[in-house]
């Protein structure tokens, strides 16, 4: 069975693109969400762009699926609870204090 024959329920965006199939039930993984938030804290446009930018622009800028952007926005809004990443404290601090030195 190839990836095209599988139902896409719990796959990464990269796996979906590699398979060349349509992603019907794509659900971002916690790591993808945490990685996007972390990358946004280091990006010149910052977390504000991730949070407030046009969905398609943010997804294209960070080369992620729009669902990852939506989940990251929801995660930021709820105070980064539930992501399950070891760097949440660091990211939370960067978001709260973007001008502070690491």
pLDDT band at 65; cut points 50, 70, 90: very high
Domain hosting 81: range is: 29-96
Residues 6+ apart with CB under 8 A from 15: 3
Quote the pTM value. 0.59
Residue 17 maps to a domain: no
Residue 11 maps to a domain: no
Q: What is the pLDDT of residues 89-100, one digit of tens each?
A: 556 566 666 666
Residue 33 maps to a domain: yes
Distance CA 81, CA 50 (A): 17
Q: What is the pLDDT of residues 13-59, one digit of tens each?
A: 666 666 665 555 678 888 999 999 999 999 999 899 999 999 999 99
Task: Examine the pLDDT at 6 and tell me if it is beyond 90.
Answer: no
| Number of domains the chain is built from | 1
């Amino acid at each position: 069975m190839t990836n095209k024959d599988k139902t896409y329920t719990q796959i990464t965006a990269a796996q979906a693109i590699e398979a060349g199939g349509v992603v019907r039930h794509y659900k971002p993984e916690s790591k993808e969400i945490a990685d996007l938030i972390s990358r946004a804290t280091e990006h010149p446009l910052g977390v504000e762009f991730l949070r407030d930018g046009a969905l398609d622009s943010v997804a294209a800028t960070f080369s992620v699926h729009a669902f990852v952007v939506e989940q990251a926005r929801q995660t930021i809004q709820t105070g980064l609870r539930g992501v399950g990443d070891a760097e949440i404290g660091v990211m939370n601090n960067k978001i709260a204090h973007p001008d502070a030195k690491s």
